[in-house]
Structure 1
Amino acid sequence: MKWLPLLMRFLALWPLPILRALGWLLGHVLFALAHSRRHIVRVNLGVCFPQLSAWQRGHMARRHFVVLTQSLLDRAWLWHGSADVLRRRLTVKGDLSPLQGAQPVVMLAPHFVGMDAGGTVLTMLQGVAMASIYTRQRHPVLDEWVRQGRNRSGRIKLYFRQQGVKQIVSGLREGDKLYLLPDMDFGREDSVFVPFYGVQAATVPSLSRFARLGRAQVLTAATRLTPQGYCLEVGPVWPDFPTPDSQADTAQMNRALQAVIDTMPEQYYWVHKRFKTRPEGEPGFY
């Protein structure tokens, strides 16, 4: 694993079209070989897009593996490329003023393949001091490389998931801009079941909870992979959020997430078992 940072530094020098072509090739190889992950993607797409034909979902699945692999290779220039490379390949749309004031903000930053690029846009190009919740990688060399890459700007405060929420709430009350990714199945504990594409999905109500306890504004920050690089799309501040009903808030979060997924469905992180935890008595999907 020690070779990985060296390889990525080398790939950071490649022209983007060549690097993306390599990602296209490796993505098709991964689609052919990663049987279990391919099964997960197909199940997720079948649950969420039953109106599409089997051929359409199969094409979307293959395309997902391609953009996922391209995004993994793009970490090379995101984390090791020059500032000039970042300025040429990264753009942003939307109003960034809420992220530049003193008011705490929680960003709904869903698991799209460009999620790390979004963090780089904010910290490296926009100068936003950001906070994020970090889950350690199993291999220490990989863990060190990921942490250094995500915080190459020195502007990211990393909270570790196992340390609890008290420190995160305290940081928000001091004005943190929290880059939150709450759209995965973390199990039954601390989750509520709310619809996701019309199917009950175990979802942590952390967006509502952090916004309420941290007295923070909420907005969506979704990052789109483009032929030129990535575009971070920042939405407006959500009005009348949070409410006293965290379950209703979490359902609203999933509706907002769906609206963005529908604009780039192949770029969502479908390799995750999003419907792994089922309500009592329901059979599993996978």
Structure 2
Amino acid sequence: MDAMRNSTVKPNTPKFERHFLHPRYWPLWLAMGLLRLLALLPHKVKLKLGSPLGNLLYWLAPQRRKLAAANIALSFPDWSAEKHHALLRAHFRSLGIGMMELLIVWWGGYRREDDRKERALVTFHNLDIIKKLQAEGRGVIMLVPHFTHIDMTGLFLQLELSYAPVYRPHDDPLMEYLITKGRTVFRDGAPWVTPISKDASRTMLKHLKRGGLLFYLPDQRYRNPKQRVDATFFGRPAPSNPATSKLAQLTGAAVVPVFTRRINDHYHVTCLPPVDNFPSGDDLADTERLHRLYEQEIRHNPAQYLWVHDRWNLSNEDIERLSSQA
């Protein structure tokens, strides 16, 4: 296990500050306390609570519901309205389960270096692909698209691998403190999982050049008009970040897609072979290739993809029109 230790990234967990105790933060602290109590429940109970929580979110978040419905209708135009609606409801149940999974991520036994319960939840497939690449001294970009169980994927991978997840810093200082602290893991007092801000490009490059592993989320809408590519995703151009190609080109890192499926109360984490001839020198073509891989997995596991994200930058008119089809 020590051979896989991540020694190239220094932890950057924000420090607790006294102003976090200000009354304006009390509702958040109360919510965290309630979540901590729920974390004591057995895993199966947490998952069962997740489905009704998702059903509640379906009604409490009408804008997100319409956006998810529009995305589903856009991605599966040949489906009936009934099938669209069934997927929409299943997605919100999966979304609720994903929220309950955070209790395991934040307070699971692995935090106390007792990971027996977490190991019992997962079956790995082809994890040796990553271990072999790292043993050869090669950096690896682990591509993990946005599914509702993405935090559990991160948890399971750290059972076997030391890596650096890329994340977007939160605007609220207390949320930034809590989230970053929750994503940082130590083993034997040494850094094991150490988050990197999406803006820290030099840190990512240095990490990969030294043979590190990067947990990279590649599939969200990219807003920078000068750097983005409009790569087709489910038949429609989507503003996309070509950074995967650039990171691989500058570091020689392998690009390995990692997909997770939640089946009842068990998880299957599958590593695909490294994407061959990548990067090709054509950022748009590279991103299109990756999108085809994501689409294939989403078609096999549609309810667990994160449909509430505005992947295509749809207009309000498009959202209203498309959501009416689901």
TM-score, length-scaled by structure 2: 0.81
Match of 1:71 in 2: 98
Residues 124 and 270, structure 2, Cα contact 8 Å, conserved in 1: yes
Amino acid at match of 2:77: P
Name which of 120, 130, 133 aligns with 1:88: 120
1:29-85 Cα distance to aligned partner (Å, 9 max, x none) = 110121100010011011100011111111111111111111111111222121222
Residues 58 and 92, structure 2, Cα contact 8 Å, conserved in 1: yes
SS of the aligned residue for 1:162 comes to coil
Match of 1:135 in 2: 168
Name which of 221, 225, 234 aligns with 1:185: 221
The offset of 1:277, in angstroms, is 6.7
Name which of 105, 115, 118 aligns with 2:153: 118
Residues 129 and 271, structure 2, Cα contact 8 Å, conserved in 1: no
1:103-142 Cα distance to aligned partner (Å, 9 max, x none) = 101111100111111111111x21x121121212233333
Residues 276 and 285, structure 1, Cα contact 8 Å, conserved in 2: no
Amino acid at match of 1:256: L
SS of the aligned residue for 1:219 comes to strand
User: 5+ residue gaps in structure 1?
Assistant: none
Name which of 46, 54, 60 aligns with 1:27: 54
SS of the aligned residue for 2:199 comes to helix
CA distance in 2, matches of 1:230, 1:150: 20
CA distance in 2, matches of 1:43, 1:217: 35
Amino acid at match of 1:67: S
Amino acid at match of 1:29: L
CA RMSD of aligned residues (A): 1.8
Alignment of 1:91-240 (within 5 A): 91-99=123-131, 100-101=134-135, 102-123=137-158, 125-126=159-160, 128-153=161-186, 154-163=191-200, 165-189=201-225, 190-240=227-277
Moved segments of 4+, more than 6 Å: none
Instruction: Report the CA distance shift for 1:70/1:237 in structure 2 as closer, same or farther (over 3 A).
Output: same
Corresponding position: 1:17 with 2:44: yes
Amino acid at match of 2:121: R
The offset of 1:146, in angstroms, is 2.0
CA distance in 2, matches of 1:25, 1:122: 28
CA distance in 1, matches of 2:130, 2:119: 22
SS of the aligned residue for 1:233 comes to strand
Amino acid at match of 1:145: L
SS of the aligned residue for 1:262 comes to helix
User: 5+ residue gaps in structure 2?
Assistant: 1-27, 110-114, 320-326
CA distance in 2, matches of 1:45, 1:277: 13
CA distance in 2, matches of 1:60, 1:191: 30
The offset of 1:284, in angstroms, is 6.7
CA distance in 2, matches of 1:132, 1:37: 26
CA distance in 2, matches of 1:197, 1:182: 16
Match of 1:49 in 2: 76
Amino acid at match of 1:50: P
SS of the aligned residue for 1:260 comes to helix
Larger Rg: 2
Amino acid at match of 2:33: L
Of residues 75-84 and 142-151 in structure 1, the stretch that sits farther from structure 2 once superposed is 142-151
Of residues 213-222 and 231-240 in structure 1, the stretch that sits farther from structure 2 once superposed is 231-240
Q: How many residues align?
A: 279
Residues 44 and 270, structure 1, Cα contact 8 Å, conserved in 2: yes
Instruction: Report the CA distance shift for 1:95/1:77 in structure 2 as closer, same or farther (over 3 A).
Output: closer
The offset of 1:91, in angstroms, is 2.6
The offset of 1:188, in angstroms, is 4.2
Residues 276 and 284, structure 1, Cα contact 8 Å, conserved in 2: no
CA distance in 2, matches of 1:143, 1:229: 30
Of residues 140-149 and 202-211 in structure 1, the stretch that sits farther from structure 2 once superposed is 140-149
